[in-house]
Amino acid sequence: MSEGEWLLDGEGPGRPLLILAHGAGAGWDTPFMTRMAGMIATHGVMVARFEFSYMRHRRETGRRSGPGRAER
């Protein structure tokens, strides 16, 4: 299920929540992330996945770019 900018698995009131973030090489909806979220949800944990902005940019434009630089 998609809820705004989150993908949610294992919904239900009173469940523990795990926020699952993707790595730099793959997005939030890869088969691995989807499978992992589903497996965790079967153990009574709600899983919330989100997409970092640089990965959204890559998906929307097809151009690779890393995350922005942190200020010093």
The whole-number pLDDT of residue 1 equals 47
Res. 35 pLDDT band, cuts 50 70 90: very high
Residue labelled with tokens 């730099």: 24
Question: Does a structural domain hold residue 40?
Answer: yes
The whole-number pLDDT of residue 67 equals 61
Q: Assess contact for 54 and 68: CB atoms under 8 A.
A: yes
Question: Does a structural domain hold residue 68?
Answer: no
Which of 43, 45, 63 has its CA nearest to residue 54? 63
Q: Assess contact for 58 and 15: CB atoms under 8 A.
A: no
Domain assignment of residue 40, given as a range: 2-61
The pLDDT of residue 4 is above 70: no
Question: Does a structural domain hold residue 41?
Answer: yes
Quick count: other Cβ atoms within 10 Å of Cβ 6? 14
* Those residues with Cβ within 8 angstroms of residue 72's Cβ, 6 or more apart along the chain or in another chain: none
Q: How many domains does the chain have?
A: 1
Question: Does a structural domain hold residue 70?
Answer: no
pLDDT digits (tens, 9 = 90+) for 5-34: 888 888 778 889 999 988 777 788 889 999
Question: Does a structural domain hold residue 14?
Answer: yes
Q: What is the mean pLDDT of residues 42-60?
A: 84
Question: Does a structural domain hold residue 72?
Answer: no
